[in-house]
Structures are given as structure tokens and as C-alpha cells.
């Protein structure tokens, strides 16, 4: 659901920009990713891989630290996102990143026209 929303946002964003060729291409690719179900598939793969390689546990430990700093009562999703996302990006193993990029490229090469 979030992804759909985000996709919509992106589309809106793209549309709100000057409808250049590039942004139009982005919009169509995003749409295709969602329509073909490839986005969900990629997400699922990523989640499995991250759980598998211990990324999730590391992130949880990091979350704990953050929450302890802030106090249990003052935790919001937005704060967590701000604190966590940079670390999340950094902690993704190279192999997982490579595989995911490969898959995205394959999809694009098939559908980018």
C-alpha cells in the first residue's frame, strides 16, 4: 500500500515537474514496475535477503539504542526513519545490493522503450 502511495506520489511529482522526456520515462517505468508486480517481487526479495544476512537484527539493535536515547514514550515513526535510514542504506551488504541492481536493470532493459 505504501508503495502504491509512493508510486502515486512519484507520478504526481513527475507530472508536477516540467514534463520532460526523462521524467516521463521515469513515470512510465515506475508505473510498469507497479503494474507488472515487479516492485512487490523486488521488495519481497530484498526483505528476505536482508533478514537472511542479519541486516534486520543489526537495525533492530540500532533501533533499541535510538529508542533508549529518546525514551520509550517519545518514539515516532518519523524520528525512527530519520535516525535509521542512513544506517540502513549503509548496512545493506554489497552482494544484496548487486543482485537487486541487476534485477532492476534487467527489468528496465526489457521494458524501457
Partner 1 sequence: MKMEDMPLSGPDNTKLEALVHDIYSELVEDACLGLCFEVHRAVKQGYFFLDETDQESMKEFEIVDQPGVDIFGQVYNQWKNKECECPNCKRLIAASRFAPHLEKCLGMGRNSSRIANRRLASNNNMSKSESDQEDNDDLNDNDWSYGAEKKAKKRKSDKNQNSPRRSKSLKHKNGELGSSISTEPYKYNYSTGISYESLGPDEVRSLLSTQCGVISEHTKKMCTRSQRCPQHTDEQRRAVRVFLLGPSAPPLPDTDPVVESDSFDIPDGQTLMSRLQWEDSPDISPADSASSKTSTNHSDSRKPKKKKRTSLSLNSGGGGGGGGGGVGVSLTGGCSSGSSSQSNISLSTKKKRPKLTGPSISSIYDDLN
Any residues with CB less than 8 A from the CB of 17 and at least 6 apart, and which?
23
Provide the grid cell at 63: 533501533
Is residue 49 within 8 Å of 37, Cβ to Cβ? no
Q: How many other CB atoms sit within 10 Å of the CB of residue 78?
A: 7
User: Of 14, 26, 36, 95, which one interacts with partner 1 (CB under 8 A)?
Assistant: 26
Restricting to residues 38-97, which ones interact with partner 1 according to CB under 8 A?
39, 42-43, 46-47, 50, 56, 59-60, 63-64, 67, 72, 75-77, 80-81, 84-85, 88-89, 92, 97
Cβ 61 to partner 1, closest distance in Å?
10
Contact between 12 and partner 1 by CB under 8 A: the answer reads no
Is residue 96 within 8 Å of 53, Cβ to Cβ? yes
Contact between 6 and partner 1 by CB under 8 A: the answer reads yes
H helical segments located in 1-113: 2-16, 21-35, 38-52, 55-70, 77-91, 94-111
Cβ 23 to partner 1, closest distance in Å?
10
Interatomic CA distance for residues 27 and 31, integer angstroms? 6
Positions that interact with partner 1 (CB under 8 A): 2-3, 6, 22, 25-26, 29-30, 33, 39, 42-43, 46-47, 50, 56, 59-60, 63-64, 67, 72, 75-77, 80-81, 84-85, 88-89, 92, 97, 100-101, 104-106, 108-109, 112
Amino acid at each position: 500500500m505504501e508503495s502504491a502511495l509512493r508510486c502515486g506520489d512519484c507520478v504526481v511529482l513527475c507530472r508536477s515537474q516540467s514534463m520532460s522526456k526523462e521524467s516521463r520515462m521515469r513515470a512510465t517505468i515506475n508505473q510498469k514496475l507497479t503494474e507488472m508486480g515487479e516492485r512487490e517481487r523486488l521488495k519481497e526479495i530484498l526483505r528476505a535477503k536482508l533478514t537472511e544476512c542479519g541486516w534486520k537484527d543489526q537495525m533492530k539493535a540500532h533501533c533499541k539504542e535510538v529508542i533508549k536515547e529518546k525514551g520509550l514514550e517519545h518514539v515516532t515513526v518519523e524520528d525512527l526513519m530519520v535516525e535509521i535510514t542512513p544506517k540502513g542504506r549503509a548496512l545493506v551488504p554489497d552482494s544484496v545490493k548487486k543482485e537487486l541492481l541487476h534485477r532492476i536493470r534487467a527489468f528496465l532493459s526489457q521494458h524501457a522503450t
